A and B are shown apart, each in its own frame.
Chain A
Amino acid sequence: MRLVRSAAVVAAVLAGTGAARAGGLPSKIDVRADGIDFFPYANAALLAATGHVVLREGSRMLEADAVRVDLYRNRLLASGHVRVLGGPRPLDATAYALDLATGRATLLRASPVPATFAVRDDDPASAVEEPAPADTFEAADLDGQRPYMRSRHALVTPNAGVRMSPAEFPTGAGPSLTLPTFLYTLVQNQHINYSAAPAASFDQPYSLFGSPASLTAAHLRYDGTNGVTLGLDTHLVEGNRAYFVASLLPFWDRQIDWLSFQQLRPGVQQQLSGFATFGAFANQSIQYQLQHSGTFLKETFSAGQFDSSNSGQLVASTYEHDVGHYFGYQLHAGYGYDHNAGGYPFNNDFRKDLGAELLAPDFRLLGTPIGTRYDYDNTLYSYPHQILTGTLTVSAGRAVTRALRVFAQVQFQQSDDRYRDPAVAAYALGLPDPALPYYAPDGTPWPGYFSYAGESTYRTYELDATFQGRKPDDRIEITLYHTRDFPQFHGFGRAPYALSLDVTRRIAPELRVELGRSYDFGWGGRYLSPQYSFSVGP
């Protein structure tokens, strides 16, 4: 309950910062024209309106042949037969530039010769001829650039978003996609866009409503497990100091994920996250983490609950250190507590953990750099149980030609999982009684886990080749895996061989497709287990 209250507090703090504050900016800008193109990637978010443009903001109405609105710098530039209404008298000009935040306006008249004037309150009587600052009429060249979306009506909320109705999306691959309305958020904070939901092959957000510090969006998703599904998420941000993200997948997944983060002061931050699933497999989890980063050490306190089990731990770790150019290391030590309500043979258990990552310097063999690292971790439980893991990883990568890059990695992992009493351990872990014969799913008698006294070895060999096409987004990647594990659970565990092929290709200026095909050989008693994957992106 304490964790739930903490979550509520963090959410409340973030919500309190979500109120829109746009300073002297107008609350809304309404733009109508024969055509309005929106370019969010041209170093600025630009609205380019052409043909019979009518722009309204507050009491000001502006008509022109063409208008540009820089939505990040909040500047407006109108050109061609410009007429501004809303001041004491109509204001006519060849060009008109307005800083929306300060209200400072500059107009350019071409008769009898071009001249620039500073104007106050759109009052022609206040016009004072003077040189205009060099960037007053600055405009990006948009010729040849494809707009992100296009419409005849745009409604801008400065620093928050631009909504186009209807919104046409030129795809560059023939027909455009048209939606009745679309909101593009202008909030320049990456956390306003991240989703807390599990990653998907395809995830297209559809913004519903937002403010300078919040956004709520629907998501059209595809993943290999659930297929096409819909989601909903909401975000609250406070600069780069805090955020709260919650995602709801109400259909096949039936899941809520949420994540909040707050930087209390430099080097100290807390994080609260959790998920809940519904339906046949209902689970709830909540995790809290408080972290301090000092000069020499990082200390992390974390506590979590998964259904009726909970745990907490305190871990101290060093930063990554290099010893000259020869050697690198990082150490960590921790003390933790696990509670398993009603569990047997223990309800409460304490553990001590010590670990290290050791890195050897890269060395070259026939021109190929080879890197080596060793990871070690030793956990001792108060209930007599020890897990000791050592992993040696050797890897090498090389650009063979401009078009071919190869990477190889070999990993050996040795794990000792020692109990005082195998029978009790088997019960605790839900494994078959080692004293009784056991049969694998295909009916083959199998000696059981405890014939190896807790020793296990995992060997992984990986070879990866990437062929880069002439175009930067065109590539083919082939990866071969081979594993040799002991014990190998009679056809289960890791597949002894796996092969994957990924093809990436840009099929349109705004559309990149990645298709993957992978095969597991000899898994689950089957010779071949093929799988597809795909993702699309801009």
Chain B
Amino acid sequence: MLSTIGALCFALFLAITTPLAPSPSPSPAPSASATNASPFIYVRGQALAVANGFLIFTSGDALRLRATTAVPPKLTIGSIVRVTVDRLQHDVTLIELDPPRSYPSDVDIADLPRDFIAQSPKSVRPVTKGPTVGAVAAGTVSVTIEVRVPAQTPPTDDVYLSTDRSNYSPAEIRMQRVDARRFTITLGLPAGTLLKYQFTRGNYQTVERDRTGGIVRPHQLPVAPNARSNDTVARWADIS
């Protein structure tokens, strides 16, 4: 009964036993650029403005600029900066715009001892925990979305990803089959963004629904390096 092609299909599968390639080992951690004994503190933060001899951060904290310190002309709201602060003078001697990496010795502006902060006493707010600098990697990163579809899905139908990036075009990205009920897709997306998406079978009438047939809010995936999402479609709009 099984034709030659069918036999070949399965023979190919069963013959393949090549193990998955091991994932590459992580790159070595960057070395520290300074120690506690250093006369300087390296501070990271997001710039809000430069005015009246102060560098003001989006946290509301400000550092006094040394008179000779050059301000990068491209500095604007939200720019990530790494500044060198003189421990004795409590002023900024250097501003680096968009530093390519952070070092273990870098201090977030929110964690900097308050005596370095140049601010009116009434405006000082309590120290906040956690970094104020966006820890998001720049550029395009790889994310993977996998979905399990309901049993009633016609076996030969394709499944599509419909995202906010295309205004939810119902046949935007055709997913790859993993097995009878699972599909996957790997995408390159801008890091730090939020991907909103739904699953369809190629048109608006076949969009996913919840278990009771109600509208499903779009799934969300924060785009970070190697982010992964495992989703389930409870039901299709056109199949009860």
Contacts and interface: CB of A to CB of B under 8 A. Distances in A.
Contact of B179 (A110, A113, A133, A369): A369
B168 A190 contact: yes
B168 A371 contact: no
A42 B193 contact: yes
A410 B8 CA distance: 11
Contacts of A484: 3
Contacts of B156: 409, 411, 460, 462
B140 interface: yes
B54 interface: yes
Interface in B142-177: 142-143, 150-152, 155-156, 162, 164-174, 176-177
A405 B176 contact: yes
B48 A410 contact: no
Contacts of B6: 410, 461, 482
B17 to A, nearest CB: 6
Interface residues of A, number: 120
A79 B140 CA distance: 29
A378 interface: no
Given A113-B118, A320-B151, A395-B180, A139 B48 contact: yes
Main secondary structure of the interface of A (DSSP, over half): strand
A461 B238 CA distance: 26
Contact of A535 (B5, B171, B218): B171
Contacts, number: 290
A137 B59 contact: yes
Given A66-B77, A190-B164, A461-B5, A139 B58 contact: yes
A193 B176 contact: no
Given A110-B54, A263-B214, A411-B155, A131 B125 contact: yes
17 contacts: A95-B48, A110-B51, A134-B59, A137-B59, A137-B60, A139-B46, A190-B218, A196-B204, A199-B171, A199-B202, A267-B213, A293-B212, A367-B17, A396-B10, A410-B6, A411-B155, A538-B166
Interface of B: 1-3, 5-6, 8-10, 12-14, 16-18, 20-21, 46, 48-49, 51-52, 54, 56-60, 62, 76-80, 98, 118-120, 122-126, 128, 134, 136, 138-140, 142-143, 150-152, 155-156, 162, 164-174, 176-182, 186-188, 190, 192-194, 196, 198, 202-205, 207, 211-215, 217-218, 222, 237, 240
Given A199-B171, A397-B182, 7 more contacts: A43-B222, A129-B122, A190-B196, A463-B8, A463-B12, A473-B186, A537-B173
